[in-house]
Amino acid sequence: MNEPIKSHKTRREQREHVIELLYQLDLLETKSFDQTQYPFVNESVQGVIDNRAKIDQVITAHLVSYTIKRLSYVDRAIIRFAVYELYFTETPAEIIIDEALKLTRLFTDEGNDKSVAFNNRVIDTIHKALKG
């Protein structure tokens, strides 16, 4: 039997959609995307687009022996989204970091947790710096 079409995405699925869209925008070097039916997705993607220069400046300042262009497109999308949320939303940092690490496991980790450890270190360092 066919599964029913799911018309509602969970917040985690919406976060996955945000990463997919940010990845595509970065890969295609564009700033326009088709709006979705989910305000969270639209606001998050647009927020990253509108604040990308500031977000990238923050990321660059906290990368050690690395450049932002050296990050994979997906890791760059995950870190940008996390920094956007840390900087521009009221979402608790613990949730943002936890979700970013789950997205890393889903999209880029190869089973050895190296990507998770790297992204965690970068996002945590940025979080501590923003707390001031």
Residue 6 falls inside a structural domain: no
Tokens of 27: 């890969």
Buried b (16+ CB within 10 A) or exposed e, 12-38: eebbbbbbebbbebbeeeeeebeeeeb
Q: What is the count of structural domains for the chain? A: 1
Residue 75 falls inside a structural domain: yes
Domain span holding position 99: 11-131
Residue 52 falls inside a structural domain: yes
State the CB neighbour count (10 A cutoff) for residue 123.
Answer: 25
Confidence class for position 1, pLDDT limits 50, 70, 90: very low
CATH of the domain at 76: 1.10.940.10
Residue 30 falls inside a structural domain: yes
- Give the pLDDT confidence of 89-127 residue by residue, as tens digits: 999 999 999 999 999 999 997 778 899 999 999 999 999
Contacts 24+ apart (CB under 8 A), 110-119: 115/75, 118/75, 119/75, 119/78, 119/79, 119/82
Residue 40 falls inside a structural domain: yes
Is the CB of residue 77 less than 8 Å from the CB of residue 26?
Answer: yes
